[in-house]
Structure 1
């Protein structure tokens, strides 16, 4: 199985990359620097095209759209510059779409799967306030994933959207609920279970349906 993981240089992405490699899968990881197999800024169409050319004729069984940013963490309502919105949506939403678009021929070749890491903060049923940009971008990518699930079903491609848990990473912080290994174990089980019959799901790392 060939697995492609964006944002594979740290946190959940790096742990997923290691675990799939340990399982004997072929893994292609991307990062914005040179710390993974492929250099990819997901917001850059030129780099997306270069990645597509590099992986041309290589079927992809699982694409994990993990790369993301949380630029407004800790910000107050008076401290939300416009470019923070633009940068966040460029990575968390547009970057996911551009990656799937670029690798669609590879996914079609294998009837592959797409896993999008969103967040419980995408849910409109959870509205404790704050983190407006991050919440909005994760809600947008949830919507994107569910609509892609509809359109890509005809190609035999399943799409799932997942909340990885509140994880002890650089983004989640040391006070988070679970260790990265626990999140990754759960996510890998979810990705294994993803099929056309469950395409469009929004689930937690431990297999619970999440409210939209």
Structure 2
């Protein structure tokens, strides 16, 4: 299987690259700063730059069986409503978490169409669910809600072409974003997510699942 994982310089993305490589898949990881690691192939990519995303497509002309849209930012953590959440953070967050997903999918559509049974996995968050609205983190929550909506609509659009799309909550993970008090390790999250990706099909396209296989309310 050939896979592309965006936002793979560290955390869940890097662990997904390692896990895919360990089981013999051909995988390309991307990262904004051009960093490389000891597994997989690597490509520098800023998902907010249309030219850079187009260059990724040129650099990876082979069919893509699995595209994992993992690149994401959480810039408004701990902001307070009285003086936080400036407009530039809204723009930057949506550029990565929403527009970046769409641009990546759009650029790699030829490669996905060339792979029978191709799949797109969008790493979302339970914080994007309408059922979880405790306040705070307004920008991140709104961006993940938009990413969830985008994934559901991509699933409908691409169903006739045989491309399945799933949206996944990776769990509360011990990463720089999740913090050391989080529930699960990066390895646990990645292993669960890979099992979910393997199980994704046209019958389940548009699903919103947790890393351990539970259906998450939209």
Q: Name the TM tier (shorter chain).
A: over 0.9
Could you state the TM-score of these two structures normalised by the residue count of structure 2?
Answer: 0.96
Superposed CA RMSD: 0.6
Name the SS of the counterpart of 1:110 in structure 2.
coil
Aligned to 1:103: 108
Aligned residues: 211
Match runs of 1:29-108 below 5 Å: 29-36=29-36, 37-56=42-61, 58-77=62-81, 78-108=83-113
Name the SS of the counterpart of 1:67 in structure 2.
coil
Match runs of 1:1-212 below 5 Å: 1-36=1-36, 37-56=42-61, 58-77=62-81, 78-111=83-116, 112-212=118-218
**Structure 2, unaligned stretches of length 5 or more?**
37-41
Query: Following the alignment from structure 2 to structure 1, what is the Cα–Cα distance between the partners of residues 156 and 15?
Result: 30
Could you state the TM-score of these two structures normalised by the residue count of structure 1?
Answer: 0.98
Compute the displacement of 1:46 (Å): 0.6
Compute the displacement of 1:55 (Å): 1.1
Deviations along 1:132-191, one digit per CA (max 9) or x if unpaired, are 000000000000000000000111100000000000000100011111111111100000
Query: Following the alignment from structure 1 to structure 2, what is the Cα–Cα distance between the partners of residues 64 and 201?
Result: 15
Compute the displacement of 1:6 (Å): 0.1
